[in-house]
């Protein structure tokens, strides 16, 4: 373990919310918090940009103000800050490599449109091997902590056909630290034959559901034994996994999803379900990279 939580700041309100969430997480883990800001410069910028000195002063002011606010809220927390340079996603992924997790902001677009991940967030999630958490700005400044994801269960989405120890380890450890319920969710869609074959219409769906409940129980049994204090609530739902995860996120403190590490330069690096959850979940989302 790196014993460090890192948060990326870009001056947006969402990144400030992410820094506060990261500070709370660092406190739970008993580790320092590192605030970072990435400066990217173009050789031929399309528009006039601030001079290097002005940009430096702005970045230092941003980090200084954020650090002061975090220390006011968490006086016992060790907070450091630094400026990075380069392509933002690459620099952030590099910072994540020496951290337990990287926390970034995600802009809200409303309850229907969901949340805007942005190219930097998407590229960072795809590039980082360490957990990356996306946090939105609270809707109600009067109750920021609740909306930032410090209250409620942790929701973890699992695929019984592809068990993932990294995903399970992170979710159980997080639930143990928070002392909250861990909801293990598996969503599935009935095969088309159930919809059209009258012979399978009665009882087949229930049999498949029972089999999946057993598969989920078998998957989490070793982790229940390792974390006996964690209250686990397995749940198998009929429906598209992404939709079920987004629905469960409404009252969650944190949603945990996986991302398979792809070494190829081509193809998706996030996955359809994780992509949908990142854009539409109401709670902070932790993306866990795994082989």
CATH number of the CATH domain containing 202 = 3.40.50.620
Cβ partners under 8 Å of residue 127, min gap 6: 89, 90, 93, 269
Same-domain check for residues 99 and 188: no
Query: Burial, 204: exposed, middle or buried (Cβ in 10 Å; 0-12, 13-18, 19+)?
Result: middle
Instruction: Enumerate residue ranges in the chain where pLDDT < 50.
Output: 42-46, 109-115, 140-144, 146-147, 194, 196-199, 202, 266-268
Give CB contacts under 8 A, 24+ apart, made by 200-207.
205/238
Structure-token pair, residue 240: 């598209």
* Domain annotation covers residue 119: yes
Residues 110 and 227 in one domain: no
Shared domain for 72 and 131, answered yes or no, is yes
**What is the C-alpha separation between 174 and 271, in angstroms, rounded?**
23
Give the residue from 141, 167, 183 where a domain finishes: 141
- Cα atoms found within 13 Å of the Cα of residue 115, Cβ hemisphere only: 28
Question: DSSP string spanning 246-274?
Answer: HHHGGG-SEEEEEEE---SSSS-SS-HHH
136 and 177 housed in the same domain: no
Say if residue 131 is in the same domain as residue 201.
no
Is there a domain that residue 147 lies in? Answer: no
Judge whether 28 lies within some domain.
yes
Of 96, 115, 141, at which residue does a domain stop? 141
Is 263 part of any domain?
yes
137 and 156 share one domain: no
Residue ending a domain, choose from 96, 121, 141: 141
191 shares a domain with 69: no
Is the backbone of residue 203 left (phi > 0), alpha (psi -120 to 50) or beta?
left
Q: Which of 111, 11, 109 is nearest to 66 (CA)?
A: 11
175 and 106 together in one domain: no
DSSP-based three-state secondary structure for 183: strand
In the chain, DSSP assigns E strands to 5-8, 33-39, 79-85, 101-108, 115-116, 132-136, 154-157, 182-188, 232-238, 254-260, 285-290
Residue 203 covered by a domain: yes
Q: How far apart are CA 67 and CA 73, in angstroms?
A: 10
- 13 and 102 belong to one structural domain: yes
Quote the pTM value. 0.84
Task: List the domain range (segments joined by +) for residue 276.
Answer: 152-291
Mark whether 168 and 279 lie in a shared domain. yes
* Same domain for 157 and 212: yes
The rounded Cα 220 to chain-centroid distance in angstroms is 21
Note the pLDDT of residue 227: 97
The single residue listed with the structure tokens 């590229």 is: 123
Overall number of domains in the chain? 2
In a domain, 200, yes or no: yes
Same domain (yes/no): 115, 231: no
pLDDT tens per residue, range 159-208:
877 778 999 999 999 999 999 999 999 987 666 554 544 445 546 666 67
Report the candidate in 184, 205, 189, 190 with the shortest Cα–Cα distance to residue 248.
184
Is 146 domain-assigned?
no
Is the residue at 168 inside a domain? yes
Residues in the chain: 291
């Amino acid at each position: 373990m790196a014993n460090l939580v890192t948060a990326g700041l870009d001056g947006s309100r969402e990144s400030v919310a992410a820094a506060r969430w990261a500070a709370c997480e660092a406190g739970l883990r008993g580790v320092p918090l590192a605030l970072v800001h990435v400066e990217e410069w173009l050789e031929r910028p399309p528009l006039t940009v601030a001079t290097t000195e002005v940009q430096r002063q702005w970045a230092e002011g941003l980090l200084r103000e954020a650090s002061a606010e975090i220390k006011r809220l968490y006086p016992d927390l060790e907070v450091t800050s630094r400026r990075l340079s380069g392509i933002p996603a690459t620099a952030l992924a590099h910072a994540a490599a020496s951290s337990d997790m990287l926390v970034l902001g995600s802009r809200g677009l409303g309850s229907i449109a969901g949340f805007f991940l942005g190219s930097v967030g998407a590229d960072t999630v795809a590039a980082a091997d360490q957990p990356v958490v996306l946090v939105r700005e609270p809707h109600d400044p009067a109750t920021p902590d609740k909306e930032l994801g410090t209250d409620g269960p942790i929701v973890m989405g699992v695929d019984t056909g592809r068990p993932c120890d990294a995903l399970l380890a992170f979710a159980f450890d997080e639930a143990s630290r928070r002392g909250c319920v861990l909801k293990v969710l598996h969503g599935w869609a009935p095969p088309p034959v159930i919809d059209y074959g009258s012979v399978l219409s009665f009882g087949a769906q229930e049999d498949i559901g029972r089999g999946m409940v057993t598969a989920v129980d078998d998957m989490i049994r070793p982790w229940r034994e390792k974390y006996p204090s964690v209250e686990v609530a397995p749940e198998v739902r009929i429906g598209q996994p992404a939709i079920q995860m987004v629905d469960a996120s409404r009252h969650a403190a944190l949603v945990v999803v996986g991302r398979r590490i792809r070494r190829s330069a081509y193809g998706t690096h996030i996955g359809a379900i994780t992509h949908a959850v990142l854009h539409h979940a109401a709670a902070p989302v932790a993306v866990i990279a795994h082989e």
